[in-house]
């Protein structure tokens, strides 16, 4: 028991450090969160990351970080569920498809250049999008990235207020394009799995509360922004938390049916992004 | 001068045979000449010790040579040399005088028209001199040969639009079979627009031993002129295709100046470019790129805008026909794994209204995702295993797929698709492509335009930069910028490829259009080759998609490249019926021969089809002709027809077998009268000299033609006598007899031995 106090202190310190890392963006460098770090920490195959597909997570400037922002959602960030959700999803992707995917994720920024440039990763995943903010150059780059053939999947934001703030950023990217509901007829739900029976995929809170929604996001919404040819450029998963489902898929307490749908949805979105 | 020294005209020596009239044997002459030479040599050598030291060298040889020449000449005269030559009998032979009366003969390039110069030459005593010894028949030659009674008929008649020297002479040679024609005199500028003079015509004159004397008129080089030699363009194109026309031209008098090169469709300018003119007389080649536009028969006019002071502006332009087709072309794209290249190729091709991609993508181990299919059954069972399922496509693209994915029957089908059906086949680089996919060790290795490395591990996910070869800089597939040099520079600036694959070495006959560099190593990137009736290519990368993602949004490089590559792959893929004519442009001659290659549903030659050509032409011309099978070439059919009127003609060839239609094809051609005569307006001396040399005649300049009547007598045609011309009394002999001893005496005196 004499060790209880030092251990508690150590755990507390570790927890605070992790929290700080998760809530701030400016404090991170590529060395800390970029490929190099992941290559060091990940012991799986193909560590050098030379694969056809790289799961790319968008790192954006969250509202409130660095003293600015909207004053809401301060505990959210681009790195929610990161990196476990990403890696568990990649395991499923590799196992269930012929996509040669890199086992470790890639963090991309809208101001990156060189080999890390977002244009080298035509599929990108963003979470907690109600906190994102763009500068004009970033919004322009995202818009052109999508119009040239890039694909954006947005996940883990809930309720009317989150939607409103998500749209603040989205309207900077596409001021004139409308968000529309994706229906069973949309090819994105059939490209690999036929996903006509979809339901709300809850976050990890379901394990402790049995509640599938967060905030006032009672009904799951599959929405999208399409290009002039009707191809989905932005796939919006509102009122659901697929990232948590991937992250907690190995937890026996988290229902398999949610994890299963989350994987299938994610795989379909990746497959759609690689074919349309 | 020649006749003064040799007593007889040059023709006597050119056409006669040397004979020795003396009764002594010829061997005796040879023996005596040799003996004289040897005797003189012995004599000079024996006297050498006493001779002056100045001549104990080569000078003694000169003395010997002069003495020997004199002795040999004297001995030859003892044997009475003479020339035996055939000579036309006076008043019993006909001389055919043919005057070119085509439009080019009205060009004035020496103060008078060429025709006026010809008439003047004849009226200046030639006709009278000929008339004293022979019967003279006058002919005018244009599109056909016609006889005239006097030169005034020539002056009063309008010039014809075409000349066919070959045909006209052939007609004259036929006429000569019944007439004692001793020689032909042709007064012309040599501008023939029916393909020149064929060997048949020449052999007809040679067999009858009729010499054709030609008198050339017109400047051999026009001082100020730009003339288009040719415009080469594919006769068929797909709607909205980018077309490349190679235009060759030359000029005189404008070296270094700027000129505008344009292509027009009707009055609409499709493309134009300013060019700097090359040196005088040099052939200059330029390429014009333009859009083929919508479907239909196009008459394109390629021209160099006239320059100040140009005398002949009608040769600045040529017309070419292009049949722009709108029939849809479908490409089957087989991809073994989801990858970015697949997506971006499909996106690049989506704007193409003619070419569409039908793709099958192996998304998981047991699932194929199909895109672009026409009906739910298409490719439902995977890659086709039957001819009727595969051959409707015009091309196949094979992505990152191992060769083992295909059954032996499917592999055989792919081979036949290219070889027999004439389809296109493109291999892409990828981790299961080319050598890594086992293609090099398969029976389909023959199809590849490269010899693949004999190992695995040739695919690398590392960047590679690209560049064009000189051939690629000027190729329609890789053309991003019109100017070849600018195009090569543009390619160098393209974003690097995301990956590359070692494709090995190009096969003989393959064309490397683009290369890539990884590290310090340069490798082929895009290689093409014709195989059987089709064509194959290798693009040794799966990473061109960066050209789309890493360039400004308005940049169209990726789309243009892929559309051009895929269009090349399908454009020449034939249908079951392919109709053709030797030349789409008929100049002044409406005869045309149609050919058709007819295949059955399996694309095997169909030898027992019913093939018809349906022709529509100007002023309501319509004809329907049956085409007959070629016994030597199964599946090939021919028919001949004559387009009577100038204008454009559209022909549809249909083939049926047991009431089933095998296929149909459309081609167009045009007859243009009076156009070819505007080209090559300078005197074609080469043609005239060749004609006279081949027939035993002579080429004459107008200023020398007064001597023609005296030479024309020596001919073996018509009614002739053999005349013996003795040579001993030629002035040249007397001069030699004087000159040889005189020269020896002078030399001896100079060298101090006299």
Residue A24 lies in a domain: no
* A48 Cβ under 8 Å from any chain B Cβ: no
Instruction: Give the mean pLDDT of B478-487.
Output: 92
- Find, in chain A, the residue whose alpha carbon is nearest to that of B368: A192
For residue B170, the model assigns a pLDDT of: 82
pLDDT in tens, B685-709: 888 898 888 888 889 998 888 888 8
* B462 Cβ under 8 Å from any chain A Cβ: yes
Question: Measuring CA to CA, how many Å separate B357 from each of A198, A204, B421, B558?
Answer: 32, 44, 19, 16
Confidence of residue B153 (pLDDT cuts 50, 70, 90): confident
CA distance B27 to B33: 10
CB proximity under 8 Å: B 413-432 to A:
431
Q: What residues contact residue B615 under an 8 Å CB cut-off, 6+ apart?
A: B621, B622, B623, B624, B625, B641, B649, B650, B651
Among B700, B608, B734, B707, CA closest to B662: B608
Q: For residue A194, how many other CB atoms are within 10 A of its CB?
A: 11
For residue B61, the model assigns a pLDDT of: 87
Number of domains in chain A: 1
* B356 Cβ under 8 Å from any chain A Cβ: no
Closest approach of A206 to chain B, Cα-based (Å): 32
CA distance A249 to B611: 69
Residue A12 lies in a domain: no
Residue A19 lies in a domain: no
Contact B364 A96 (CB under 8 A): yes
B520 pLDDT above the threshold of 50 = yes
Contact A275 B498 (CB under 8 A): no
| H or E segment and range at residue A93 | helix A84-96
B110 pLDDT above the threshold of 80 = no
Closest approach of A20 to chain B, Cα-based (Å): 35
B142 pLDDT above the threshold of 80 = no
Contacts across the A-B interface (CB distance below 8 Å):
81
Q: For residue A26, how many other CB atoms are within 10 A of its CB?
A: 9
Closest approach of B465 to chain A, Cα-based (Å): 14
Q: Which residues of A touch B343 (CB under 8 A)?
A: 122, 149, 273-276
For residue B160, the model assigns a pLDDT of: 65
pLDDT in tens, B57-81: 888 888 899 999 999 999 999 999 9
For residue A48, the model assigns a pLDDT of: 53
* A122 Cβ under 8 Å from any chain B Cβ: yes
Mean pLDDT value across chain B: 90
pLDDT in tens, B388-435: 999 999 999 999 999 999 999 999 999 999 999 999 999 999 999 999
Residue A3 lies in a domain: no
pLDDT in tens, B626-669: 999 999 999 999 999 999 999 999 999 999 998 899 999 999 99
Closest approach of A261 to chain B, Cα-based (Å): 18
Contact A97 B462 (CB under 8 A): no
Confidence of residue B200 (pLDDT cuts 50, 70, 90): confident
Structure tokens at B586: 């008929």
| H or E segment and range at residue B178 | none
CA distance A129 to A60: 9
- What pTM was estimated for this model as a whole? 0.76
Q: Do B438 and B411 contact (CB within 8 A), yes or no?
A: no
For residue B106, the model assigns a pLDDT of: 79
Place of tokens 């070959």: B166
Candidates A97, A100, A148; nearest CB to B549: A148
Contact B340 A52 (CB under 8 A): yes
Question: Could you give phi then psi for residue B27, rounded to 5 degrees?
Answer: -65, -30
By residue range, what is the domain housing residue A228? 29-273
| H or E segment and range at residue B331 | strand B329-335
Q: Which residues of B touch A144 (CB under 8 A)?
A: 552-553
Contact A98 B363 (CB under 8 A): yes
CATH number at residue A118: 3.40.50.12140
A72 pLDDT above the threshold of 50 = no
* B164 Cβ under 8 Å from any chain A Cβ: no
* A95 Cβ under 8 Å from any chain B Cβ: no
B455 pLDDT above the threshold of 60 = yes
CA distance A156 to B442: 50
Closest approach of A40 to chain B, Cα-based (Å): 20
| Backbone φ/ψ region at A45: left (φ over 0), alpha (ψ -120 to 50), beta | beta
* B517 Cβ under 8 Å from any chain A Cβ: no
Q: Which residues of A touch B365 (CB under 8 A)?
A: 98
Closest approach of A98 to chain B, Cα-based (Å): 5
Q: Which residues of B touch A150 (CB under 8 A)?
A: 549
Candidates A96, A117, A275; nearest CB to B369: A275
For residue B162, the model assigns a pLDDT of: 62
* A168 Cβ under 8 Å from any chain B Cβ: no
Residue A265 lies in a domain: yes
Residue A45 lies in a domain: yes
* A253 Cβ under 8 Å from any chain B Cβ: no
CA distance A77 to B50: 125
A69 pLDDT above the threshold of 80 = no
Closest approach of A207 to chain B, Cα-based (Å): 32
Q: What residues contact residue B357 under an 8 Å CB cut-off, 6+ apart?
A: B330, B331, B333, B345, B346, B349, B371, B372, B397, B566
Q: Which residues of B touch A275 (CB under 8 A)?
A: 338, 342-343, 346, 361, 369, 371
pLDDT in tens, B265-298: 988 999 999 999 999 989 999 989 899 999 999 9
A76 pLDDT above the threshold of 70 = no
Question: Within 13 Å, how many C-alpha atoms sit on residue B491's CB side?
Answer: 30
pLDDT in tens, B296-344: 999 999 999 999 998 788 899 999 999 999 989 999 999 999 999 999 9
Question: Within 13 Å, how many C-alpha atoms sit on residue A26's CB side?
Answer: 6
- Find, in chain A, the residue whose alpha carbon is nearest to that of B550: A119
For residue A14, the model assigns a pLDDT of: 43
Among A76, A93, A92, CA closest to A25: A76
Instruction: Give the mean pLDDT of A138-147.
Output: 98
- Find, in chain A, the residue whose alpha carbon is nearest to that of B542: A52
Q: How far is CA B472 from the centre of its chain?
A: 23
| Substitution target from A148, A174, A232, A271 for chain B, most B beta carbons within 10 A | A148
Contact A275 B343 (CB under 8 A): yes
Candidates B364, B549, B552; nearest CB to A97: B364
Question: Within 13 Å, how many C-alpha atoms sit on residue A29's CB side?
Answer: 2
B671 pLDDT above the threshold of 70 = yes
Residue A239 lies in a domain: yes
Q: Which residues of B touch A120 (CB under 8 A)?
A: 498, 546, 549-550
Measured distance between the N- and C-terminal CA atoms of chain B, rounded to whole angstroms = 35
Residue A18 lies in a domain: no
CA distance B415 to B400: 18
Contact A275 B462 (CB under 8 A): no
This model of the complex carries an ipTM of 0.85
- Find, in chain B, the residue whose alpha carbon is nearest to that of A123: B340
* Domains assigned to chain B: 2-87+724-751 (no CATH), 90-220+682-718 (3.40.50.410), 231-326 (2.60.40.150), 329-571 (3.40.50.880), 577-675 (2.60.40.1930)
Cross-sheet strand order for the sheet of B622-629: B577-580, B591-598, B636-642, B622-629, B610-616, B647-657, B660-672, B585-587
For residue A109, the model assigns a pLDDT of: 95
Under DSSP, the state recorded for B125 is: I
CA distance B569 to B423: 8
Burial B266-287 (b: 16+ CB within 10 A, else e): eeeebbebebebbeeeeebebb
Instruction: Give the mean pLDDT of B168-173.
Output: 82
């Amino acid at each position: 028991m004499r060790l209880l106090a030092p251990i508690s202190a150590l755990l507390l310190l570790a927890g605070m450090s992790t929290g700080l890392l998760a809530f701030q963006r400016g404090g991170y460098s590529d060395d800390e969160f970029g490929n190099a770090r992941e290559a060091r920490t990940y012991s799986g195959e193909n560590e050098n990351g030379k694969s056809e597909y790289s799961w790319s997570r968008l790192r954006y400037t969250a509202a409130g970080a660095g003293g600015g922002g909207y004053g809401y959602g301060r505990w959210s960030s681009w790195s929610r569920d990161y990196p476990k959700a990403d890696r568990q999803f990649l395991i499923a992707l590799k196992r269930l498809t012929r996509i040669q995917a890199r086992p470790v994720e890639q963090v991309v920024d809208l101001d990156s250049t060189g080999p890390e440039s977002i244009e080298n990763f035509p599929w990108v995943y963003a979470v907690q999008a109600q906190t994102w903010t763009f500068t004009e150059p970033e919004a322009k780059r995202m818009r052109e990235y999508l119009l040239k053939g890039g694909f954006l999947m947005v996940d883990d934001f809930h309720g009317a207020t989150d939607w409103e703030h998500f749209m603040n950023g989205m309207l900077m990217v596409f001021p004139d394009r409308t968000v529309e509901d994706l229906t069973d007829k949309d090819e994105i739900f059939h490209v690999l799995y036929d996903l006509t029976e979809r339901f709300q995929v809850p976050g990890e809170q379901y394990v402790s509360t049995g509640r599938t929604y967060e905030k006032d996001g009672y009904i799951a919404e599959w929405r999208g922004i399409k290009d002039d040819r009707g191809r989905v450029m932005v796939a919006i998963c509102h009122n659901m938390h697929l990232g948590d489902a991937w992250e907690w898929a190995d937890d026996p307490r988290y229902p398999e049916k949610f994890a299963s749908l989350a994987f299938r949805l994610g795989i379909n979105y990746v497959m759609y992004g690689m074919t349309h | 001068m020649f006749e003064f020294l040799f007593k007889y005209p040059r023709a006597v020596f050119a056409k006669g045979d040397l004979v020795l009239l003396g009764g002594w044997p010829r061997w005796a002459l040879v023996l005596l000449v040799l003996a004289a030479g040897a005797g003189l040599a012995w004599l000079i050598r024996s006297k050498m010790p006493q001779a002056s030291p100045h001549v104990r060298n080569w000078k003694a040889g000169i003395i010997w040579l002069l003495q020997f020449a004199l002795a040999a000449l004297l001995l030859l005269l003892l044997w009475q040399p003479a020339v035996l030559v055939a000579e036309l009998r006076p008043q019993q032979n006909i001389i055919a005088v043919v005057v070119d009366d085509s439009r080019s003969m009205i060009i004035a390039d020496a103060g008078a028209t060429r025709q006026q110069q010809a008439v003047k030459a004849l009226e200046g005593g030639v006709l009278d001199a000929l008339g004293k010894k022979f019967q003279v028949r006058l002919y005018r030659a244009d599109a056909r040969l016609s006889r005239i009674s006097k030169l005034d008929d020539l002056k009063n008649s309008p010039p014809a639009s075409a000349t066919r020297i070959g045909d006209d002479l052939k007609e004259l040679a036929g006429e000569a079979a019944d007439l004692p024609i001793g020689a032909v005199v042709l007064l012309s500028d040599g501008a023939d627009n029916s393909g020149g003079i064929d060997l048949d015509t020449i052999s007809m004159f040679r067999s009858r031993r009729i010499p054709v004397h030609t008198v050339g008129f017109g400047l051999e080089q026009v001082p100020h002129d730009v003339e288009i030699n040719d415009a080469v363009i594919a006769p068929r194109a797909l709607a909205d295709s980018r077309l490349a026309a190679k235009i060759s031209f030359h000029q005189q008098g404008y070296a270094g100046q700027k000129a505008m090169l344009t292509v027009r469709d009707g009055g609409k300018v499709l493309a134009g470019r300013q060019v700097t003119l090359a040196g005088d007389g040099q052939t200059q080649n330029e390429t014009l790129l333009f859009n083929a536009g919508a479907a239909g028969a196009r008459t394109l006019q390629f021209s160099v805008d006239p320059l100040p002071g140009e005398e002949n502006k009608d040769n600045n332009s040529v017309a070419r026909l292009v049949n722009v087709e709108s029939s849809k072309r479908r490409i089957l794209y087989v991809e073994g794994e989801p990858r970015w290249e697949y997506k971006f190729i499909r996106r690049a091709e989506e704007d193409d209204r003619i070419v569409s991609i039908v793709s099958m993508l192996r998304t998981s181990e047991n699932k194929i995702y199909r895109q672009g299919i026409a009906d739910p059954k298409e490719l439902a069972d995977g890659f086709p295993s039957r001819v009727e399922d595969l051959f409707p496509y015009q091309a196949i693209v094979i992505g990152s797929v191992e060769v083992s994915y295909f059954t032996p029957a499917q592999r055989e089908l792919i081979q036949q698709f290219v070889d027999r059906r004439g389809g296109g086949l493109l291999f892409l680089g990828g981790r299961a492509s080319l050598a890594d996919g086992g293609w090099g060790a398969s029976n389909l290795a023959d199809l590849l335009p490269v010899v693949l490395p004999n190992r695995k591990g040739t695919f690398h996910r590392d960047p590679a930069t690209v560049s064009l070869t000189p051939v690629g800089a000027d190729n329609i597939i890789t053309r991003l910028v019109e100017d070849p040099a600018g195009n090569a520079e543009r390619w160098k600036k393209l974003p690097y490829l995301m990956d590359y694959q070692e494709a090995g070495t190009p096969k003989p006959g393959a064309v490397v259009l683009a290369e890539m560099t990884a590290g310090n190593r340069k490798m082929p990137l895009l290689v093409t080759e014709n195989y059987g009736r089709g064509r194959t290519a290798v693009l040794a990368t799966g990473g061109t998609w960066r050209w789309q993602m890493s360039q400004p949004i308005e940049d169209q490089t990726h789309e243009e490249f892929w559309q051009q590559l895929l269009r090349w792959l399908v454009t020449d893929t034939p249908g079951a019926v392919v109709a053709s004519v030797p030349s789409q442009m008929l100049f002044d001659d409406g005869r045309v021969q149609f050919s058709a290659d007819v295949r059955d549903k399996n694309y095997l030659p169909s030898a027992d089809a019913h093939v018809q050509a349906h022709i529509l032409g100007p002023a309501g011309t319509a004809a329907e002709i049956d085409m007959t099978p070629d016994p030597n070439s199964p599946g090939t059919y021919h028919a001949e027809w004559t387009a009577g009127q100038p204008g454009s003609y559209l022909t549809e060839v249909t083939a049926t077998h047991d009431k089933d239609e095998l296929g149909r094809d459309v081609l167009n051609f045009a007859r243009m009268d009076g156009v070819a005569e505007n080209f090559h307006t300078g005197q074609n001396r080469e043609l005239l000299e060749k004609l006279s040399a081949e027939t035993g005649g002579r080429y004459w300049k107008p200023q020398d033609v007064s001597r023609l009547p005296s030479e024309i007598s020596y001919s073996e045609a018509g009614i002739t006598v053999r005349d013996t011309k003795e040579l001993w009394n030629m002035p040249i002999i007397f001069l030699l007899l004087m000159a040889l001893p005189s020269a020896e005496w002078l030399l001896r005196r100079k060298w101090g031995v006299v």
